């Protein structure tokens, strides 16, 4: 389910307890600058975990709307003293789209929408997901509850996010981890595309909160369901509602909250957003 090679390292530490201090060591997550380039031009520089970077480059290309999988001719990794460059070769340089999507600044651990030059790009319309897939609430609980034991890097470092792809009849098919939640989801997107799995039949599982860019990336992947352990933002809820994505969040051992398109779980089809409820009261 992905490699954690070179994604952690052992460092010296001093452990203090009430009984005193002692020398110790700890495995920590490796964080490095990763530049994604097209035709010699840098599109983004993000802080990321240095594992599964081919998935990352491909997933970023897909979820950012830069190119389709068929348009990607090759991905090359170049390790340097300051970081890693992922060179993506496209059938066409797509110069106008790349100019519109170009990020002008480095992003701290995959900062999502940071640096995008156009407001239209930040809140771009999403394709509507009309998947007829249905999901049992009990199965969703079991899926998110079993994710922790599949997070090898987090078990070692306690410092990374995970994004996973789950299918009701098959279980968790893919897991990708990264110091950045957006990066983990991009890595998952690339892995799904390369594997040929049917995204419309499954769900994206997240160990993070759900902001609007996580919904945007899930929409690009084509999954009809997001399940997250933390809460969503108001804009994420509206985006999921408009994109036809079922948004489940605050998932705990005893249940979860459904914010949009609950019909896929046999629940009421929609829940008003806080903004809509406030408007009704006013």
CATH number at residue 91: 3.10.20.10
Q: Does any domain span residue 223?
A: yes
Q: CB of 160 within 8 A of CB of 50?
A: no
List, in order, residues 6 or more apart from 93 with CB less than 8 Å away.
38, 39
pLDDT given for residue 269 in this prediction: 72
CA distances in angstroms from 120 to 101, 105, 125, 180, listed in the order given: 10, 18, 9, 24
117 and 146 together in one domain:
no
Q: Does any domain span residue 165?
A: yes
pLDDT given for residue 111 in this prediction: 58
List, in order, residues 6 or more apart from 101 with CB less than 8 Å away.
43, 64, 65, 66, 116, 121
CATH number at residue 202: 3.40.140.10
pLDDT tens by residue, the chain, 282 residues: 544 458 999 999 999 999 999 999 999 999 999 999 998 889 999 999 999 999 999 999 999 999 999 999 999 999 999 999 999 999 875 655 665 556 544 455 655 555 555 566 667 789 999 999 999 999 999 999 999 999 999 999 999 999 999 999 999 999 999 999 999 999 999 999 999 999 999 999 999 999 999 999 999 999 999 999 999 999 999 999 999 999 999 999 999 999 999 999 999 775 544 444 333 333
Encoding tokens for residue 245?
């994505």
51 and 152 together in one domain:
no
Encoding tokens for residue 211?
């902001």
| 208: nearest Cα among 147, 121, 265, 266 | 147
Q: CB of 144 within 8 A of CB of 152?
A: no
| 156: nearest Cα among 4, 50, 51, 24 | 4
CA–CA distance, 246 with 272 (Å, rounded to integer): 14
Of 95, 122, 149, the one marking the end of a domain is: 122
Q: Does any domain span residue 66?
A: yes
pLDDT given for residue 152 in this prediction: 96
Q: CB of 171 within 8 A of CB of 201?
A: no
This prediction has a pTM of: 0.88
152 and 97 together in one domain:
no
Q: Does any domain span residue 213?
A: yes
CA–CA distance, 247 with 212 (Å, rounded to integer): 11
pLDDT given for residue 279 in this prediction: 39
Based on the structure, what is the number of domains in the chain?
2
How are beta strands 32-38 and 41-48 bridged, if at all? antiparallel
Q: CB of 191 within 8 A of CB of 2?
A: yes
272 and 179 together in one domain:
yes
Q: Does any domain span residue 13?
A: no
Q: Does any domain span residue 127?
A: no
Of 67, 94, 122, the one marking the end of a domain is: 122
Q: Show the domain range for 249.
A: 137-281
Cβ burial of 8 (10 Å; 0-12, 13-18, 19+) is buried
pLDDT given for residue 273 in this prediction: 42
CA–CA distance, 223 with 225 (Å, rounded to integer): 6
Sign of torsion, CA 74 38 178 166? negative
CA–CA distance, 140 with 254 (Å, rounded to integer): 11
pLDDT given for residue 281 in this prediction: 38
Catalytic residue (choose from 33, 71, 100, 111)? 111
Neighbouring-strand partners of residue 189: none
pLDDT given for residue 97 in this prediction: 63
Q: Does any domain span residue 222?
A: yes
Q: CB of 39 within 8 A of CB of 212?
A: no
Catalytic residue list contains 111: yes
């Amino acid at each position: 389910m992905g490699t954690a090679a070179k994604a952690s390292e052992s460092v010296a530490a001093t452990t203090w307890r009430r009984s005193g201090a002692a020398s110790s060591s700890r495995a920590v997550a490796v964080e490095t600058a990763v530049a994604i380039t097209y035709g010699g031009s840098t599109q983004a520089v993000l802080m990321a975990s240095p594992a599964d970077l081919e998935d990352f480059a491909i997933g970023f290309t897909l979820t950012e709307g830069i190119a389709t999988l068929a348009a990607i001719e090759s991905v090359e990794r170049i390790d340097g003293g300051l970081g890693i460059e992922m060179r993506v070769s496209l059938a066409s340089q797509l110069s106008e789209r790349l100019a519109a999507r170009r990020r002008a600044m480095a992003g701290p651990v995959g900062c999502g929408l940071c640096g995008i030059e156009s407001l239209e790009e930040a809140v771009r319309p999403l394709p509507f997901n009309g998947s007829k897939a249905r999901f049992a609430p009990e199965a969703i609980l079991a899926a998110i509850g079993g994710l922790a034991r599949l997070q090898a890097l987090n078990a070692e470092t306690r410092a990374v996010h995970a994004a996973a792809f789950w299918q009701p009849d098959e279980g968790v098919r893919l897991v990708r981890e990264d110091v950045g939640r957006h990066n983990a989801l991009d890595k998952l997107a690339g892995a799904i595309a390369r594997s040929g799995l049917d995204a419309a039949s499954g769900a994206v599982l997240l160990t993070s909160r759900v902001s609007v860019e996580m919904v945007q990336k899930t929409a690009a992947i084509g999954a009809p369901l997001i399940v997250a352990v933390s809460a969503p933002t108001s804009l994420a809820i509206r985006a999921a509602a408009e994109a036809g994505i079922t948004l489940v969040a605050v998932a705990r051992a005893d249940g979860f909250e459904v914010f949009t398109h609950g019909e896929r779980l046999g629940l009421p089809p929609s829940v008003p957003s806080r903004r809509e409820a406030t408007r009704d009261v006013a």
